[in-house]
Amino acid sequence: MNAIVSPIDRAHEELVRLVRKGDCVLFLGAGVHAPPPKTSPYSYPPEIRPLLGGDLAEQLADECGYRDQLPNENVRDLQRVSLCHEKTPGLGRARLIASLNKYLITGKKPSPLLKMLAALPFRIIVTTNYDRLMESALRQQDKEPTVVIYDTDPDKPTRDVADDPTEAQPLLFKMHGDLEQKDSIVITDEDYITFVQRMADKETTYPIPLSIRFRMKQWRTLFVGYSLRDYNLRLLFRTLRWRLDPANFPCSFSIDLHPDPLILKVWQNERQVITFLSQDLWTFVPSLYREIHGKEYSDV
């Protein structure tokens, strides 16, 4: 008697097959920098980890006196806190970017998790992270990424690339900017509003490179380091699909140990646009690495 394969197991098998072929878009969020659980064989010391959203917001809140200016508001709301930081007299945008460099760049190193992902045959990687840790991890794997950064100029499109990306030269698109290009950063409430407005631009000034949009219509997307309970991610996902026929848009995968039941109901069960794989990242990524490379990851 043949064993019954569950839909989730079948989805996992399909994901492994696509990653092995290189026909999968990797979409990285800040959660990829989360520390490993205590039971993990891997380590990622706090002094070399970028701060995650809520912790970053609290640090910025301390710098701009957010609790005094807005005593009844959530100090872990990064968009709101960063806007306050930017608009506080004596601070401004330059100080905000300097603080982001301090908490996200200075002394920070790629985790074993990021190195494992960099060692997999992804040809297109999209990230909303501002740091350069993925670039570093890719170069440690002797890969040379072509880095494309979101262009905030409304009169021209984000730069595209002429050649198809390869495993050795993947395309890395930094959708919310890069700290080396200060004007590119999307972090405050107002930045996000402007970014979403740009998603309705005409083709000649569209902010997402055509090559990425073309591949996202053909390939599955793997979301790593995100929670779809995040309103901004759901909005981003919707805007990426605005100009596409839903019938022709491949179902995506999202790694989320505890997906929100309402989000699961809407996005997986009803709309069938995302399949959730309920695993911790520090379990899923080493397992994916092992299935692709046929061996355990070693950082030696």
How many distinct structural domains can be found in the chain? 2
| Helices and strands counted in the chain (H then E) | 12, 7
The pLDDT tens digits of the residues spanning 195-214 come to 888 877 777 777 888 888 88
Q: Which of 32-46, 94-108, 224-238 has the lowest mean pLDDT?
A: 224-238
3-state secondary structure of 255: strand
Judge if 33 and 130 occupy the same domain: yes
Judge if 68 and 182 occupy the same domain: no
Judge if 16 and 150 occupy the same domain: yes
Judge if 114 and 97 occupy the same domain: no
Residue 197: give its domain's CATH number: 3.40.50.1220
Judge if 176 and 246 occupy the same domain: yes
The whole domain housing 210 covers 7-38+110-293
Judge if 99 and 115 occupy the same domain: no
How many residues in the chain? 300
Strand partners, 252: 274
Q: Is residue 299 part of a domain?
A: no
Q: Residue 221: name the closest of 211, 210, 212 by CA.
A: 212
Q: What is the residue type of 169? A: Q
Judge if 119 and 254 occupy the same domain: yes
Mean per-residue pLDDT over the chain, rounded = 90
Judge if 193 and 61 occupy the same domain: no
Judge if 119 and 145 occupy the same domain: yes
Q: pTM higher than 0.85 for the full model?
A: yes
Judge if 120 and 243 occupy the same domain: yes
Q: Give DSSP secondary structure letters for 177-244.
A: -BTTBGGG---SHHHHHHHHHHTTS-GGG-SS-HHHHHHHTTSEEEEES--TTSHHHHHHHHHHTTTS
Q: Is residue 47 part of a domain?
A: no
Q: Using alpha carbons only, give the angle 202, 235, 65 rounded to the nearest 5 degrees.
A: 110
pLDDT at residue 1, as a whole number: 46
Mean pLDDT score, 64-77: 95
